[in-house]
Amino acid sequence: MRIATWNVNSITARLPRVLAWLRSTQPDVLCLQELKCSDDGFPRDDITELGYDVASYGANRWNGVAILSRVGLEDVTRGLVDEPTYEDALHPRAVAATCGGVRVWSVYVPNGREPDHPHYTYKLRWLEALHTTVLAENSDDRPFAVLGDFNIAPTDDDVWDISLFADSTHVTEPERKALARLRDAGLTDVVPRALKYDRPYTYWDYRQLAFPKNRGMRIDLVYANRPFADAVTDAYVDREERKGKGASDHAPVVVDLTL
């Protein structure tokens, strides 16, 4: 089974690339983030023509997540247990489904903006809700994974120059402690275990030639339980999909499993 995650930064803008990537890479399951469209605006017909079922969760031109599956799509859940609001509204940031016997969550963790911003507090509360959800859903015998844009770099090596992030989100101790709590809940960061090279980045800003200069971050993660992690045979970041005109600022992360 091949499972992937990709922050597309607008499914409408990226649709031709997404369709071409589905044809060439042939993932069985693809988790998408930052759709920037409502459920009614999601290009469902274009996706289903390629043999994928769709579970989307979007509300407007911000946020939004989806799961595409060609191995079944059951028990769809939208939103987290005890999910917090921001500015008195719930935001579409998490959707789950069981695909071919594997339970997957596609998540778009809040950015946080700045450590002293209310959005940062919201981010930590949202991560707490994710932890609660993992405890409720994870089991010892069913492959389970949370995939998506976590907006957290797990280690200093996961950013191109840690000295430039001293007063920034994505690398603060409370955010990293939230990731550690997911590990305490039985999940592990599976991609570095399978890669043939160290900590490839998954995100590069559009500005200041960040991608050509490889000034990136590894913030798109796959956190999985033992039945999932033990089945992983390979993983890679598709840097080629970050190249060229009309690319997202994130690259897809692909994980292959033998189940």
> For the chain, how big is the Rg over CA atoms in Å?
17
Q: Which residues are catalytic?
A: 108, 149, 250
Does the annotation place 128 within a ligand binding site? no
Q: Which residues is 2 bridged to in the sheet?
A: 256
What phi and psi, each to the nearest 5 degrees, are found at residue 99? Answer: -125, 110
Any binding-site annotation on 9? Answer: no
Q: What is the rounded distance in angstroms from the CA atom of residue 208 to the CA atom of residue 134?
A: 38
7 labelled ligand-binding? yes
Tokens linked to 60: 């407007």
Q: Report whether 151 belongs to an annotated binding site.
A: yes
> Is 60 assigned to a binding site?
no
SS3 253: strand
β-pairing, 94-99 with 102-108? antiparallel
Helix (H) or strand (E) holding 7, with range, is strand 2-7
Q: 249: annotated binding-site residue? A: yes
Residues in the chain: 259
Binding annotation for Mg(2+): 7, 34, 149, 151, 249-250
Known binding residues: 7, 34, 149, 151, 249-250
